[in-house]
Amino acid sequence: MEIYTGHQYAAVKLPADCVAGMGNEFMLDSLSAYDDVIASQTLQTLPKEKGFAVFDEDGTINLFHTYAGKGRLADYAHLRTWRIHHVLSPSTAGEYDTFRKLDLLYKPDKKVSAADVIDIFRDRLEGTEHEEQLEGGKIRIIGTETAAHVHVIEIHHDMPAEFALQSWVCFSNANYAPFIPLPNCLKSVPEAYSYVMPVYGYDPNSAACRFKELNALAAQNRKLYGLEIENMWEEYKSIWAGQYQKALRQAKISWDIGDTEGATAHLSSLSCHMLEQALQQTDITRDDLIFHIMNDTDTLRYKFSYKTLELSEEPVKRPQFVPSVNAAEYAGLYGYSCDDSEEGLLITKGSTTVTVIPFNGKLSSKGSLLINGEKAEEIRAFRRNGGIYIPIDTAMKYLKQ
């Protein structure tokens, strides 16, 4: 659907085998190209009467040239339209050209999933020649930091209408924030998500503010801070997707035997748990990142030798930030049982045991991880909020199985 001048509109029905993507620019040309159309009554008569209609060679009104202006394309929006096409159908996207009008509809090279759409909302033109221009600040990416929130809606046609719609909701801009699956039967959310700020400004009572805060911190250095946070949320997205699909199947079984209230309650309860988990992980990651930035802030980036009184020729390698996760909670997601004691955390599944021993809190101390009683490696492991936290890459290496 497109709205022109605030008074006119046109909508076309999407065919089942095509996709469409637009970066804040008009895409419809002639409505004669579409079988199923809804349009305002004076959409085409008004520009004819007022003399600003632009016609195609076949005599039909071209909506883009009429209402946007003939040839009115700009990198600000058009590059994003091309990038969506380039991601979903690289075989037909071609090279980017500011002044080449792109088709609204096209067939993707492969079936598009909700995860693919989420990736598009985070896109920063990676792997294209345009990525180099980001440093100059003259490129508007799809994953723009100014987005207030992002939604991806997925419809399950084999489910009852009461919970057939699944919204992947991101309560901030998409780069370094989670997408959380929520059903359309959800009627209440944790307080931080329904909180209304009394004045516009930073407010830690607001979930949106806390997600945005982490996003803003991570964006200060995408390579050293942001990428690992993005990867962390990708892991949670994968975990939540699996949990949600399992709960959806269970809800359908309950619904079919007449337990309609139990079906919707189970889905809603799971989503509220995910909302709480996302916010807790955001707060932990924000605190860790702030401490990391504190230790990474130094004008001097070269080692100084007290022996020669000279600086080294090579800069000091700056540390990569890696988020931490609650080891017991993470292990539980992959079917492990956990026993926390003063000595450490014992994680068990079948014949495999993983023991996490936290560090004693001193700068020179490190934690350790044991596999079946044998020391595997030293790791950053610490107690916090009643649990033991370890780097997420360590958790994925040893517990994601």
Dihedral of CA atoms 365, 367, 370, 374 in degrees, nearest 10, equals 0
> Token pair of 235, please?
């892991």
Angle at 68 between CA 66 and CA 69, to 5 degrees: 65
Residue 129 lies in a domain: yes
> Token pair of 335, please?
């079917």
* Segments of the chain with pLDDT less than 50: none
Q: Are residues 272 and 338 in the same domain?
A: no
Whole-angstrom distance, CA of residue 333 vs CA of residue 400:
9
- What domain range includes position 287? 150-296
Q: Are residues 267 and 343 in the same domain?
A: no
Q: Are residues 174 and 56 in the same domain?
A: no
What is the 3-state secondary structure of the chain? CEEECCCEEEEECCCCCCECCCCCCCCCCCHHHCCCEEECCCCCHHHHHHCCCCECCCCCECHHHHHHCCCCCCHHHHHHHHHHHHHHCHHHHCCCCCCCCCCCCECCCCCCCHHHHHHHHCCCCCCCHHHHHHHHCCCCCCCCCCCCCEEEEEECCCCCHHHCEEEEEECCCCCCCCCEEEECCCCCCCHHHHCCCCCCCCCCCCHHHHHHHHHHHHHHHHHHHHHHHHHHHHHHHHHHHHHHHHHHHHHHHHHHCCCHHHHHHHHHHHHHHHHHHHHHHHHHHHHHHHHHHHHHCCCCCEEEECCCCEEEEEECCCCCCCCEEEHHHHHHHCCCEEEECCCCEEEEECCEEEEEECCCCCCCCCEEEEECCEEEEEECCEEECCEEEEEHHHHHHHHCC
Instruction: List Cα–Cα distances, 370 to 122, 343, 347, 357, 377, in angstroms.
Output: 37, 13, 10, 8, 7
Q: Are residues 381 and 282 in the same domain?
A: no
Per-residue burial over 75-113, b = 16 or more CB atoms within 10 Å of its CB, e = otherwise: beebbbbbbbbbbbbeeebeebeeeebbebebebeeeee
Residue 314 lies in a domain: no
End residue of a domain, out of 85, 113, 136: 136
Q: Is the dihedral of CA 108, 111, 117, 122 positive or negative?
A: negative
End residue of a domain, out of 241, 276, 296: 296
Q: Are residues 9 and 132 in the same domain?
A: yes
pTM: 0.91
End residue of a domain, out of 110, 136, 162: 136
Residue 354 lies in a domain: yes
Instruction: List Cα–Cα distances, 191 to 170, 173, 207, 323, in angstroms.
Output: 17, 21, 9, 25
Angle at 217 between CA 211 and CA 219, to 5 degrees: 100
Residue 303 lies in a domain: no
Q: Are residues 367 and 269 in the same domain?
A: no
Q: Are residues 70 and 184 in the same domain?
A: no
Number of domains in the chain: 3
Residue 288 lies in a domain: yes
**Could you give the strand order of the β-sheet that contains 387-391, starting from the edge strand earlier in sequence?**
324-326, 387-391, 382-384
Name residues whose C-beta falls within 8 Å of residue 55's C-beta, 6 or more positions apart in sequence: 61, 62
Q: Are residues 114 and 36 in the same domain?
A: yes
Q: Are residues 289 and 172 in the same domain?
A: yes
Whole-angstrom distance, CA of residue 324 vs CA of residue 384:
11
Residue 34 lies in a domain: yes
Q: Smallest Cα–Cα separation from 252: which of 186, 324, 322, 161?
A: 161
The pLDDT of residue 364 is 65
**Could you tell me how many residues make up the chain?**
401
The pLDDT of residue 68 is 93
The number of CA neighbours under 13 Å toward the Cβ of 223 is: 5
Q: Are residues 334 and 291 in the same domain?
A: no
Residue 382: CATH number of its domain:
3.30.457
Residue 318 lies in a domain: no
Q: Are residues 33 and 69 in the same domain?
A: yes
Q: Are residues 379 and 278 in the same domain?
A: no
Dihedral of CA atoms 172, 209, 135, 129 in degrees, nearest 10, equals -10
